[in-house]
Amino acid sequence: MERGLLISVDGVEGSGRTLHVEALKKWLEDMGYVVTTMGLQTSQLMSEPLSEVKRNIVFQRFTLFLAYATDLTDQAENVIRPSIKSGFIVIADGYANTLKAWALTRKLNHAWVDGVLSVLPKPDISISLISPPTVIVRRIIKKRGFLDPLTSAVDLCINEDLFHSFLRYVNKFQSNLTALTDGSGTVFRTNKTFDQTNKEIISYVEGFLKR
């Protein structure tokens, strides 16, 4: 393989992104590919400022969107483009579609969001992970012990308790993500065992690599 690939894995928090990214990376490495990973809020430039922004300005969704977009753009220049040029496979643990679904769920203008993110390289393979909202909530509480006020969408002012507000938020986020993935990628449901989903993802990527 001369030119490398970009594989994006998108989904709401708790959808299983990191777990499936690590499993896919291991499988690709066992097949002899050189793999690197990046993702939302992992650039050297923006990772810490993003945490700061999230702590301080919960309601500034434009600012937060632009901070996330800068985070991905920085990684596009410093990780994705050089890695692909060197023949690596880059797997993104959260990429443009996660950020777009986040923004659309907060009613940011679709054309504007597309315009800002149009500087990012298009994924060769686009994977989206979804699960029923109740499964997602259970996973997050198991992993973290609580629902984070920002990701649980208090900024959307859904006038109910945190739990039901979050269920509605995940529902909306995932329907936006599914619509965004339609035609350019594949949606995998992760409410099965990890091994089942992992197998489905690997056979999809394997099919692409064999083309």
Ligand X SMILES: Nc1ncnc2c1ncn2[C@@H]1O[C@H](COP(=O)(O)OP(=O)(O)OP(=O)(O)O)[C@@H](O)[C@H]1O
Q: How far is the CB of 167 from Mg ion (least distance, A)?
A: 20
Q: 37-64: b or e for each residue (b if 16 or more CB lie within 10 Å)?
A: bbbbbbbeebeeebeebbeeeeeebeeb
Task: Pick what 71 binds: Mg ion, ligand X, none; C-beta below 5 to 8 Å, kind-dependent.
Answer: none
Half-sphere exposure of 137 (CA within 13 A, CB side): 16
Nearest-approach distance from CB 158 to ligand X, in angstroms: 20
Of residues 18, 36, 60, 78, which one binds Mg ion by CB under 5 A? Answer: 18
Distances (CA, A) of 191 to 16, 142, 156, 197: 10, 15, 26, 8
Residue with the shortest CB distance to ligand X: 16
Looking at beta carbons, which pairs linking 46-54 to residues 24 or more positions away fall under 8 Å? 46/70, 46/71, 46/74, 47/71, 54/150
Residue 193 sits in the site that holds ligand X (CB under 6 A): yes
Which does residue 194 bind out of Mg ion, ligand X, none, counting CB within 5 to 8 angstroms by kind?
ligand X
Q: Give the relative orientation of helices 61-75 and 96-105 as an angle to the nearest 10 degrees.
A: 170
Per CB under 6 A, contacts with ligand X among 96-155 are 139, 143
Could you tell me which stretch among 13-21, 30-38, 105-113, 172-180 binds ligand X (CB under 6 A)?
A: 13-21
Residue ranges in 163-192 that form contacts with ligand X under rule CB under 6 A: 190
- Give me the least distance between CB of 87 and ligand X, in Å please: 27
| Among residues 4, 5, 6, 14, the one that binds ligand X under rule CB under 6 A | 14
163 binds, among Mg ion, ligand X, none (CB under 5 to 8 A by kind): none
Residue tagged 């990191």 (tokens): 18
Q: Which of 5, 10, 15, 28 binds ligand X (CB under 6 A)?
A: 15
Instruction: State the nearest-atom distance from the C-beta of 159 to ligand X, in Å.
Output: 25
Work out whether 11 is an interface residue with ligand X (CB under 6 A): yes
Minimum CB separation of residue 93 from Mg ion in Å reads: 6
CA 79 to each of CA 26, 49, 60, 205: distance values in angstroms, whole numbers, following the listed order: 19, 19, 28, 21
Can residue 186 be called a binding residue for Mg ion (CB under 5 A)? no
Q: How many CA atoms lie within 13 Å of 121's alpha carbon, on the beta-carbon side?
A: 23
